[in-house]
């Protein structure tokens, strides 16, 4: 409500200085406070926008993780006794093998029973030497495998019980496990198992402490069938008619990228295979497109400039957000290198990027491309390193390499990769820097020329970028921290403004108080003059 200061002045009681000071202070405060609060609100909107963006990248990263390496391959076994599991999606390819299993691997198992009446029964003191190899049971001769380290266990007052020995064996990390079995009331035995395989059988030499005997019960330095319940043996199988032996029923080195777990014998060969499943591949691609479109849609909402009556996004006009948007568009439109001699584009698989950043997916075009060449789908889902020769293998450590196809040349022990020298050591050739940093090439050949394919999938490229966005030192986190710092400074500006307004009020009060004294003095002088003239006039009239 406006104050009629002239009326207040003409009322004869002086100015209403409180109202005047309040109005003057408020007139000074309002525009400054409004400007600061506007900046606070702008920073809060940005923080909210970047927080939403960060959350969207977290969701996107999770979805990418589930699709990593998925190029539509499925493994199957013709028998429940042969379980198949994909262990490395970057190494597996389609295959079909005929497999039969005639024998499972077994753990060499010994049982030591000496009328132990309790689990904590005393067993004596001394040492137990474990050696590993194989037993010739007919001649009772043990042949040690010198490649397996012997282990000596010390049994003293701290562990000279049945449970103490069990725990000492289990804690030794020598591939031997021990357990206690109650065979009858007040009767306990110790069961000791080695790793599976005929070459992992145990020889145990007990050396007793003469003052605390009993440890010899656990010796097996001389063959004794009474202590042996299961012999150590290998798994025997045939793969496409070729005899194969493994020490374990879990086999990881027979088929690249696949683990076989033998559960029982298979007398008649069955088919174990991996094949490209277009239904699975199509579902994976749809998930990829949906996740990418969800991210792009949220980016478009956040950066919307608010034209044509639309509401502006929280990050409208923000250069960082625009840069992120541009970076993703670039990743999804540029060629993917390192998978074949020709570049691969998303458009090869029916994916097109629109002007607004959204993606369209032509399923029919995808299926035609996948049926024609399913392996190239790895360019989208699976980073990989490969060569064009079975005599040359390659692998890469780290993520510093530049994707592409490189020429490997070896002559008389000297190797180059695309004309750059490599470091040689025992049939391996390394590069520590440059476009192929971290590359190791292995071959037994003395001379060869091959192509090395270093492929980084689009999924890995996008996931790495998401990691950058989500990192504590990433652009988005930096922006959020910067905006929070701005708000802290602006809140301090508001506090400083309050202080200044208090000082301004005090100054106005002092000034108006001085003015009031002057006006009061002038009024008193005026009253004196009026009284004087009135007196003079009255005297003259009389």
Using pLDDT thresholds of 50, 70 and 90, give the confidence band for residue 15.
low
* pLDDT at residue number 11: 38
Alpha-carbon separation of residue 340 from 32, 336, 386, 396 (angstroms): 63, 10, 10, 17
Quick: pLDDT tens for 204-215.
999 999 999 999
DSSP sequence for 410-457: EETTEEEETTEE-EEETTEEE--SGGGTTEEEEES-SEEEEEEEEE--
- 410, pLDDT greater than 60: yes
Q: What is the pLDDT of residues 239-273, one digit of tens each?
A: 999 999 999 999 999 999 999 999 999 999 999 99
What does pLDDT average to over the chain? 91
Maximum mean pLDDT: which of 189-193, 318-322, 394-398, 492-496: 189-193
Query: Stretch 417-439: mean pLDDT, rounded?
Result: 92
Contact yes or no for 39/490 (Cβ under 8 A)? yes
Contact in structure between 148 and 237 (CB atoms under 8 Å): no
Percent of the chain with pLDDT over 70: 96
Compute the distance between CA of residue 57 and CA of residue 51 in angstroms, rounded to an integer.
10
Domain boundaries, the chain: 5-53+477-541, 73-103+235-276, 107-230, 279-374, 384-455
Token readout for 188 is 């306990």
Q: What are phi and psi of 255, to 5 degrees?
A: -125, 125
d(CA 375, CA 185): 63
Q: What is the pTM of this model?
A: 0.74
The C-alpha torsion from 463 through 469 and 470 to 472, rounded to 10°, is: 140
Distance CA 227, CA 351 (A): 67
């Amino acid at each position: 409500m406006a104050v009629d200061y002239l009326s207040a002045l003409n009322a004869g009681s002086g100015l209403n200085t409180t109202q005047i000071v309040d109005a003057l202070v408020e007139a000074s405060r309002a525009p400054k406070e409004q400007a600061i609060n506007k900046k606070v609100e702008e920073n809060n909107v940005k923080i909210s926008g970047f927080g939403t963006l960060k959350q969207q990248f977290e969701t996107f990263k999770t979805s990418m993780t589930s699709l990593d390496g998925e190029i539509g391959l499925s493994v199957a076994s013709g028998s429940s006794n042969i379980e198949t599991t994909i262990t490395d999606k970057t190494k597996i390819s389609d295959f079909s093998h005929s497999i039969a299993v005639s024998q499972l691997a077994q753990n060499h198992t010994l049982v030591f029973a000496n009328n132990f009446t309790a689990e904590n029964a005393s067993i004596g003191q001394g040492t137990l030497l474990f050696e590993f190899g194989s037993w010739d049971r007919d001649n009772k001769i043990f042949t040690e495998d010198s490649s397996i380290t012997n282990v000596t266990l010390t049994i003293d007052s701290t562990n000279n019980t049945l449970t103490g020995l069990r725990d000492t064996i289990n804690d030794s990390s020598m591939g031997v496990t021990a357990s206690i079995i109650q065979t009858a009331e007040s009767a306990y035995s110790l069961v000791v198992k080695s790793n599976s395989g005929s070459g992992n059988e145990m020889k145990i030499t007990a050396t007793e402490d003469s003052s605390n005997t009993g440890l010899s019960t656990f010796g097996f330095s001389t063959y004794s069938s009474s202590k042996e319940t299961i012999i150590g043996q290998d798994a025997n199988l045939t793969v496409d008619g070729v005899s194969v032996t493994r020490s374990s029923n879990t086999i990881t080195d027979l088929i690249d990228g696949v683990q076989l777990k033998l559960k029982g014998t298979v007398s008649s060969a069955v088919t174990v295979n991996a094949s490209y499943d277009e239904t699975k591949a199509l579902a994976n691609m749809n998930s990829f497109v949906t996740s990418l479109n969800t991210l792009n849609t949220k980016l478009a909402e956040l950066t919307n400039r608010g034209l044509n009556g639309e509401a502006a996004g929280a990050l409208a006009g923000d250069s960082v957000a625009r840069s992120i948007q541009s970076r993703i568009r670039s990743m999804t439109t540029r060629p993917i290198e390192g998978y074949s001699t020709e570049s691969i584009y998303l458009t090869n698989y029916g994916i097109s990027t629109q002007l607004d950043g959204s993606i369209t997916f032509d399923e029919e075009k995808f299926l035609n491309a996948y049926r024609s060449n399913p392996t190239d789908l790895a360019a989208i889902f699976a980073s990989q390193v490969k060569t064009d020769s079975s005599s040359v293998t390659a692998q890469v450590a780290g993520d510093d390499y530049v994707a592409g196809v490189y020429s490997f040349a070896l002559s008389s022990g000297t190797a180059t990769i695309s004309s750059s020298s490599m470091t040689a050591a025992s049939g391996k050739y390394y590069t520590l820097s440059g476009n192929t940093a971290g590359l190791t090439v292995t071959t037994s050949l003395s001379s060869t020329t091959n192509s090395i394919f270093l492929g980084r999938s689009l999924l890995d490229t996008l996931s790495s970028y998401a990691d950058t966005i989500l990192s504590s030192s990433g652009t988005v986190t930096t922006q959020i921290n910067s905006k929070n710092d701005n708000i802290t400074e602006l809140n301090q500006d508001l506090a400083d403004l309050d202080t200044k307004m208090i000082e301004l009020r005090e100054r106005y009060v002092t000034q108006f108080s001085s003015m009031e004294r002057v006006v009061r003095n002038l009024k008193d002088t005026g009253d004196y003059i009026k009284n004087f003239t009135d007196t003079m006039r009255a005297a003259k009239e009389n």
